């Protein structure tokens, strides 16, 4: 009897999985629209009495830190670009502009005590994405997408953000009182970080997929910008390492926490960024497409196959490789699947635009200059209090810097 019950349960799951189909572009668009609707149900910033731009949080009042909302808007900008659905464009614009802060550099005062370079970087990358994908420009009296991305670049490139510790560079945290940096070995394994107190000798060798995603897209932009064979070699090395570590059986797997499900709220969103950024790199570095796209297709199929939860039979969990809904639900989990599904349409879109082939966003090379310091002496915070990985976020500058160069020169 137990085996019969198990068979019926599995059969019901297989039927429910048909809610999301990926057989044709129309199927993919329809599935993405449903996933986008479900994802946006977690957002309440456009409701009366709520704060535009952020997901419910931060802990303990809610599960989401400020940075994850910045990542959400990047996901939704990509969704618009890939599907053509402009349903959420006004909400995206309001959210992205509400959180710019008084200096228009994505450093709003209410988050400065715990602000990391990676936090600010996520909002900056979403602004850069809006410019590169010709997302509708804000009104003329509001900050523009490219100018916002340049403001993030200028504040992170400011010498005040850098020190000589561990060989020099940009730390994870903006206030030096807070900890965090990161490393990569000769096999392109990217580790989470270390501490300045030990001159970065106590390397935390846990690996998270979004770290790889940042390095991957940054290297792809550098290849596109320079045409240098060394960047092609680095891209290939990073792709191979990412698939080896994070895509067993061609399915996204968060190795740092998924076994035993010790993932924090932040970590539950990383798979989606890797899918999005690897899809984009097939446009920026086209030699990667034949390797990357078949894996992303298989991973996306695994993702939707487990979206059988909830009363509607379409709610997504996190453990894609299991093939069954695991009960782990949230904005990150849904955002992951939306990113995986919508990214399957990458072949139907043009590459990121430059100022010479259709880019319309207005820039300001002086945006953010001199406005990136945090004068207060915030209380040091722990890794558990903060978003995501302790990566040395010079890679955010690498990604953004290459993108700015590409936008500015047309190549």
Residue 174 to residue 196: CA distance in whole angstroms:
14
Q: What CATH number does the domain containing 336 carry? A: 1.50.10.20
DSSP label of 51? P
Extract the tokens encoding 363: 């820039």
Sorted by sequence, the CB contacts under 8 Å of residue 382 that are 6+ apart come out as: none
The whole-number pLDDT of residue 280 equals 98
Phi (first) and psi of residue 299, to 5 degrees? -65, -40
The whole-number pLDDT of residue 375 equals 57
Q: Are residues 314 and 34 in contact, defined by beta-carbon separation less than 8 angstroms?
A: yes
Q: Tens of pLDDT along the chain (411 residues)?
A: 445 444 444 444 444 446 999 999 999 999 999 999 999 999 999 999 999 999 999 888 899 999 999 999 999 999 999 999 999 999 999 999 999 999 999 999 988 877 899 999 999 999 999 999 999 999 999 999 999 999 999 999 998 888 888 887 777 777 766 654 847 888 999 987 787 788 788 888 889 999 999 999 999 999 999 999 999 999 999 999 999 999 999 999 999 999 999 999 999 999 999 999 999 999 999 999 999 999 999 999 999 999 999 999 999 999 999 999 999 999 999 999 999 999 999 999 999 998 889 999 999 999 988 887 765 444 443 433 333 333 333 344 444 444 444 444 433
Residue 26 to residue 29: CA distance in whole angstroms:
5
The whole-number pLDDT of residue 293 equals 98
Domain count along the chain: 1
User: Residue 25's domain spans which residues?
Assistant: 2-409
**Apex 200 CA angle, 196 and 202, nearest 5:** 115
Extract the tokens encoding 377: 């002496």
Cα separations (Å) of 90 from 27, 83, 94, 358, 359? 25, 16, 6, 22, 20
Residue 159 to residue 103: CA distance in whole angstroms:
18
The whole-number pLDDT of residue 153 equals 94
The whole-number pLDDT of residue 18 equals 67
Residues constituting the chain = 411
Nearest to 384 by CA among 55, 54, 59, 57: 59
Residue 210 to residue 191: CA distance in whole angstroms:
11
Q: Are residues 84 and 92 in contact, defined by beta-carbon separation less than 8 angstroms?
A: no
Nearest to 251 by CA among 288, 304, 305, 298: 298
Residue 240 to residue 234: CA distance in whole angstroms:
10
Residue 362 to residue 16: CA distance in whole angstroms:
46
DSSP label of 18? G
Output the CA torsion sign for 19, 37, 349, 221.
negative
């Amino acid at each position: 009897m137990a085996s019969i019950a198990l068979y019926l349960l599995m059969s019901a799951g297989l039927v429910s999985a048909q809610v999301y189909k990926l057989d044709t572009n129309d199927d993919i668009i329809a599935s993405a629209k449903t996933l986008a609707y479900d994802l946006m149900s977690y957002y309440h910033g456009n409701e009366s009495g709520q704060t535009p731009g952020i997901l419910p949080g931060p802990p303990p009042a809610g599960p989401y830190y400020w940075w994850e909302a910045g990542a959400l808007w990047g996901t939704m900008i990509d969704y618009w670009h890939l599907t053509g659905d402009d349903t959420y464009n006004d909400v995206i614009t309001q959210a992205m502009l509400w959180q710019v802060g008084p200096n228009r550099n994505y450093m709003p005062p209410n988050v400065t005590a715990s602000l990391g370079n990676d936090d600010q970087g996520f909002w900056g990358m979403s602004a850069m994405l809006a410019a590169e994908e010709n997302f509708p420009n804000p009104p003329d009296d509001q900050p523009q997408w490219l100018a916002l991305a340049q403001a993030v670049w200028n504040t992170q490139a400011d010498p005040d953000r850098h020190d000589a510790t561990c060989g020099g560079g940009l730390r994870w945290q903006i206030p030096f009182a807070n900890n965090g940096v990161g490393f990569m070995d000769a096999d392109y394994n990217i580790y989470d970080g270390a501490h300045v107190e030990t001159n970065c000798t106590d390397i935390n060798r846990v690996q998270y997929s979004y770290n790889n995603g940042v390095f991957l897209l940054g290297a792809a932009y550098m290849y596109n910008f320079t045409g240098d064979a060394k960047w092609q070699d680095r891209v290939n090395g990073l792709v191979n390492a990412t698939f080896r570590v994070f895509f067993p059986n061609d399915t996204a797997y968060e190795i740092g926490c998924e076994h035993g499900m010790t993932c924090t709220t932040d970590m539950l969103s990383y798979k989606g960024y890797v899918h999005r950024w690897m899809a984009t790199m097939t446009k920026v570095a086209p030699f990667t497409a034949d390797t990357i796209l078949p894996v992303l297709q298989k991973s996306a199929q695994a993702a939707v196959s487990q979206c059988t939860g909830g009363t509607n039979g379409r709610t997504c969990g996190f453990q894609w490789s299991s093939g069954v809904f695991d009960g782990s639900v949230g904005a990150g989990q849904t955002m992951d699947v939306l990113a995986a599904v919508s990214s399957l349409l990458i072949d139907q879109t043009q590459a990121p635009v430059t100022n010479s082939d259709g880019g319309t966003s207005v820039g300001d090379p002086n945006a953010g200059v001199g406005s990136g310091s945090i004068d207060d002496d915030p209380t040091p915070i722990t890794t558990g209090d903060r978003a995501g990985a302790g990566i040395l976020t010079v890679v955010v500058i690498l990604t953004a810097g290459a993108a700015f160069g590409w936008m500015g020169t047309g190549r």
